[in-house]
Structure 1
Amino acid sequence: MHHERFPGLRRRGFLAATSGAAALALVGCSGGTDDKAAGASGSPRRGGRLRAAFAGGGASETLDPHLGNLFADVARSKALFDKLADYGADLSARPRLAEKWESNKTLDRWQVTLREATFHDGSPVTAKDVLYSYRRIADPEQAFRAKASLEPIDLDASRATGARSIEFVLKRPTAEFPNVLAAFGAYIVPENATEFDDKPIGSGPFRFVSFAPGRSAVFRRNDAYWDGAPLLDEVEFVVADEESARVNALLGGQVEYAHELNPTTARAHEGRGQIEIVRLRNGAMQAFCMKTDRAPFDDKRVREAFFLIADRKELVDGALSGAGEIGNDLFGKGYEYYAADLPQRTQDLDRARSLLEQAGAEKLKVSLDTSAVAAGFAEAAGIFRDQAAKAGVTIDVRMGGKDSYWSDILDGGTLCCYRSGAMPIESHISQRLLTDSTTNATKWQHKDFDGLYQQAQSIRDKAERAAVYERMQRRLYAEGGFLIWGFADWIIGTARTVKGVETKAPANTLDWASFDKVWLA
């Protein structure tokens, strides 16, 4: 799920899972006898259990929605729990448990009204539950995922103004406060809830049945769900760490949904009629990260030269097997506020050589850190090495280990392979590009840029705010540290009986890995 925590793949995960799920196999994709005619005609019908295979986290897995880092964690959490808001396909915030929100004139107080919803035990979701959940996440003694995202809220001053209304007091003006409500991991749990692995209580579309960490989790339809009862009777999340194990399980009828397939697999099976391949566009940013605080990338002419060395189509075709779109050195292609009017950058080796010469770096040698931690990283490094050689740059590709790669590259080295899942452009800026950002991998630290971000957060008018974001992106386009060469498709495989899977939802958004609107034909 998180761009720095893509799990390794192990075949044993699925073998363990199938041993626990074998007794369930016969009911896997069969529904009840009701609605069979509807299923045959292609319209939604109720019934059946869908088995979904994800890479997992082994025996340390938990159903605590505030702790999850892996895609499997998030998929399970969104089946059991709800957030106040979530992200649409364009990464704008959409209301969920929050029915509406409204700010004061200075954007530092927000009134949030909850919709009428209940937890699985029948108790109503209240303002006290929300404040408890956020205060739990913000606990300085804990390492909950959404802690940094909730930082703008003064939780000591925030209060319930009614059973279903909360006044959030903020530490500073925050025009994009709905993004905070939609933050990854900001799920609402009942007041005083602390244990989640035995019988978690949420307000989501499915209720807890069973959980075996590192193996499987089974959840049953919540008929009282505020957004409408799911069509499926049950959903089972099965751990299958290796991509080959997920594919073989799908082909063998042991699961009906396989998450995160690679482009080679998709190409081999697409259009063959045995399984369906679903491509979620713009799912993962692919980039080279240049450290702007150290030589040679402390010279913006060198950074611009590297922008012009990249042949983006060759990188997409070679590293992603063509399963993606070229980038333009800006995050969030197709997302809200994306500066789409900037000219598409293309390879210009003559201009790159000229810039390097001006910078006194015409015989530049630099190391490029990469790893097998993510699909396409090693291939992208090799392709870019060859492209750079044409501009007189010698790149030494250094292969790093999977376990330490993400932590190492945040501080070490000068150039590295990088990728990120979907998030709002505002969040990308605040978490990665401000002087005090905790994951500032490019070491981009400019007080005037910080000031533009604060200015944007103080503007009520959306069009005026968008103009400031465009100005910031123009600066990054000209001299930033992210060489964003592509956006990879996120690829999912399903059985042909699976219907209703959303095809326009990048990973990490509302409709990705949501099974409440899915059915089995």
Structure 2
Amino acid sequence: MKDEYLKKQARWLSEGQIDRRQFIRAAIAAGLAVPSALTLATNVLAATPKQGGKLRYGTSYGSTTDTLDAGTSEHGMTQALNYARGNQLTEIDNDGTLVPELSESFEASNGAKTWVFNLRQGVEFHNGKTLTADDVIATFNYHRGEDSKSAAKGLLTGITEIKKDGDNRVIFELSGGNADFPFIVSDYHIMIMPTVNGEIEDPNSPVGTGGYIIEKFEPGVRTTLKRNPNFFKQGRAHFDEVEFITLADTTARQNAVMNGDVDFIDNVDAKTVALLGRVPTLNILKTTGTQHFTFPMRVDSAPFDNYDLRMALKYAIKRQELVDKILLGNGEAGNDVPVNASMPYFNTELPVHEFDADKAAFHYKKSGHSGTIQLSASDSAFTGAIDAAQLIAASAKEVGIDIEIVREPSDGYWSNVWNKKPWCACYWGGRPTQDWMYSAAYTADTEWNDTAWKTGESAEKFNELVVMARSETDEVKRKDQYWEAQKLLQDDGGAIVGMWASFIHAHSKALAHDEKIAANWTSDGSKLAERWWFA
């Protein structure tokens, strides 16, 4: 009875119906000692979102080649920016659940081949235009167009028709059933854009429906935003201003948060966690999700077009050593599939790809290759990528494979190196479902297939299985399809999935957030700007 009474008083305090003095008086009357009442009042108020202040967000991501076209967003900074300035039909909430966002509700029919999204009414873009079904349809058509370069194009190939039923109802017809479709439309590339005469006039326009309005965009340097006074979400977007600052250098990023020049940094080096943890003004935040670090080999480029060479490299890597020395234990070893035990239909019977000198030497000799193999890396790929590449070169040398590390510039890494050079370092934030992860990076139709694994018997079979599993409603059959797909990918594919890594952040103790923190992306699902506040 007392607990219920205190919860009610705490709710009233957080909502401003009573003040701190009244709450403390009520808590004492309920039997709490004065010190306990004071502490409880402080905690309640600290957990109550307050509006105001300027968030300075120091991020390891950013490039001078960045644009405002959400479809070409390549890394964590532009992703966070997309979420700050715009919205999708759905979103992954901070507790990991899928919820409507620009849609108010959605429902499926016809074996999940037809999906209807009912739009929120009264939502405005930053330019004052009211959101309608035409904006949604034009946005999706932009991403799935024949000449589209959008990273979301591969996710949307199953759409055969999009139509509207009035201004606030959008209907998607799919070529096959897809129970995961509402997850797909939450993808950060598919930020709903405003139309002009029914068309997307400028995909690089800063205009969105999000909690913040872009004031200045300096690619690879900083982006400044101000709060949108007409934001449709109640209890979100608390800061008056937000500034995203690119700090690609790990030491510079660490010093900035230690010195109070920024309020938050992502991608804390595991080696400096203890040091930052001793700073009295800072908190360390770790979240564990689906982030993984990879070394994609493009199978359309020599020497990685050779199956045995790929297998030799997969067996020449000491993955646990990578976890121990690069992540300092903040993660787990990878096994060359972008799926782990936290995801549905994880194949528990896959062979373990760990360092095996005999197997590596066998496949390397069988490949017929000789000479140096180049591995491109930069800490822009992930913190510690250069050190990880050096560890890979050292273990490969033990079996007679000579790897040359090419240190690439941080600026432009995602435009000039990743998805272009034959072998490089990379990170993936992961996706909540296998279909989404495969459609983003492994199927033949996605722009982000960074291994170019698209042709050949195994790749073609893999693509067939992904399509089959997408619409399969029998759980046993779907599991079998995903298990076979993982076997094909692990064996024949060009991805070396070396590590699954926790997200590690450092932030000022002046910042506050909900009790639950999203782990689907770094920085509270890349929505820190919308979800956090100054206590």
Q: TM-score range by the shorter chain?
A: 0.7 to 0.9
**Structure 1 CA distance, aligned partners of 2:406 and 2:65?**
31
* Matched AA of 1:441: D
Question: Please, which runs of 5 or more residues in structure 2 have no aligned partner?
Answer: 1-15, 22-40
1:239 matches 2:245: yes
Counterpart of 1:371 (choices 369, 372, 377) is: 377
Alignment of 1:86-165 (within 5 A): 86-87=91-92, 94-105=99-110, 107-116=112-121, 118-119=123-124, 125-138=131-144, 143-154=149-160, 157-165=161-169
1:158 alignment partner, SS class:
strand
1:236 alignment partner, SS class:
strand
Q: What is the Cα deviation at residue 354 of structure 1?
A: 4.3
1:417 matches 2:421: no
Q: From the superposition, tell whether residues 428 and 90 of structure 1 become closer, same or farther in structure 2 (CA, over 3 Å).
A: farther
Q: What is the Cα deviation at residue 315 of structure 1?
A: 1.4
Q: 2:315–2:353: 8 Å Cα contact kept in structure 1?
A: yes
Alignment of 1:424-503 (within 5 A): 424-444=433-453, 445=455, 446-461=459-474, 464-500=477-513, 503=517
**Structure 1 CA distance, aligned partners of 2:301 and 2:335?**
23
Bigger drift between 332-341 and 403-412 goes to: 403-412
Counterpart of 2:395 (choices 360, 384, 387) is: 387
Bigger drift between 377-386 and 81-90 goes to: 81-90
* Matched AA of 2:174: L
1:310 alignment partner, SS class:
coil
Q: Which has the higher helix share?
A: 2
1:511 alignment partner, SS class:
helix
| Corresponding residue of 1:286 | 293
| Alignment coverage as a number of residue pairs | 481
Q: 2:152–2:440: 8 Å Cα contact kept in structure 1?
A: no
Q: From the superposition, tell whether residues 88 and 163 of structure 1 become closer, same or farther in structure 2 (CA, over 3 Å).
A: same
Bigger drift between 96-105 and 464-473 goes to: 96-105
Q: 2:83–2:526: 8 Å Cα contact kept in structure 1?
A: no
| Corresponding residue of 2:182 | 178
| Corresponding residue of 1:15 | none
Q: From the superposition, tell whether residues 295 and 141 of structure 1 become closer, same or farther in structure 2 (CA, over 3 Å).
A: closer
Counterpart of 1:48 (choices 52, 60, 78) is: 52
| Corresponding residue of 2:358 | 350
Q: 1:45–1:519: 8 Å Cα contact kept in structure 2?
A: yes
1:519 matches 2:533: yes
1:516 alignment partner, SS class:
helix
Q: 1:54–1:71: 8 Å Cα contact kept in structure 2?
A: no
Normalised by the size of structure 1, how large is the TM-score?
0.78
1:384 alignment partner, SS class:
helix
Q: 1:78–1:514: 8 Å Cα contact kept in structure 2?
A: no
Counterpart of 2:193 (choices 183, 189, 200) is: 189
**Structure 2 CA distance, aligned partners of 1:239 and 1:397?**
29
| Corresponding residue of 2:257 | 250
**Structure 1 CA distance, aligned partners of 2:229 and 2:476?**
40
Q: 2:276–2:506: 8 Å Cα contact kept in structure 1?
A: no
Q: From the superposition, tell whether residues 342 and 142 of structure 1 become closer, same or farther in structure 2 (CA, over 3 Å).
A: closer
* Matched AA of 1:160: K
Q: 1:370–1:400: 8 Å Cα contact kept in structure 2?
A: yes
Deviations 1:63-116 (A, max 9, x none): 665564443333233223210123467988543223443334354432222344
Q: From the superposition, tell whether residues 58 and 387 of structure 1 become closer, same or farther in structure 2 (CA, over 3 Å).
A: closer
1:419 alignment partner, SS class:
strand
Bigger drift between 337-346 and 137-146 goes to: 137-146
Deviations 1:116-137 (A, max 9, x none): 4522678754323312332344
Q: 2:376–2:417: 8 Å Cα contact kept in structure 1?
A: no
* RMSD, aligned α-carbons: 3.8
Q: What is the Cα deviation at residue 383 of structure 1?
A: 0.9
Deviations 1:341-386 (A, max 9, x none): 23654333234334545x265x854403222242322212211122
